[in-house]
Amino acid sequence: GFDSIKCEERLGEMIAITNGKIVTVTGETYENGTVLVENGKITAVGADVSIPAGAEVIDVKGGWVTPGLIDAHTHICNFNEPDTMPALCKDGNEMSDPITPQVRAADAINPCDYAIEKVRNAGFTTVCTLPGSAAPASSTSCAATRRKR
């Protein structure tokens, strides 16, 4: 099936995603539309998009095509999914004080977290990773886009 990574892996190619219910970021919905992607960029969206010769056609009949999802509150990369790290290695939470301005999510980021690929494949393109919820007033979050490199 189609997933959010396919277009990214094919930079330089033209791809037409057809026959899906398309919901745009500006709110338009096309019940049976087409999204044309050229060189990794969306160049056309709508019900009557012409598909150029040579474009790869991906038929998502019955599926939905939506903008990338954003998770505005997550702990991804801070605690690992599934939980495989020993308790002493977890830097995403500080329970010694209810006010912890020194705790930064970026200090606990594990770029090898098993959940990154799962979240990306589910359609999330941006996440805001926060320190753990143990302290009611902690410090900085870390926003990141999830791209396959």
With the C-alpha atoms ordered 26, 29, 30, 33, is the resulting torsion angle positive or negative? positive
36, 14 contact by CB (below 8 A): yes
Q: In angstroms, rounded to a whole number, what is the distance separating the alpha carbons of residues 31 and 55?
A: 22
Question: pLDDT 10s per residue in the chain (149 long)?
Answer: 444 445 455 556 899 999 999 999 888 999 999 999 998 889 999 999 999 999 999 999 989 998 888 888 887 877 766 666 555 556 667 777 778 777 777 877 888 888 888 888 888 888 888 877 776 676 677 776 655 55
pTM of the model: 0.58
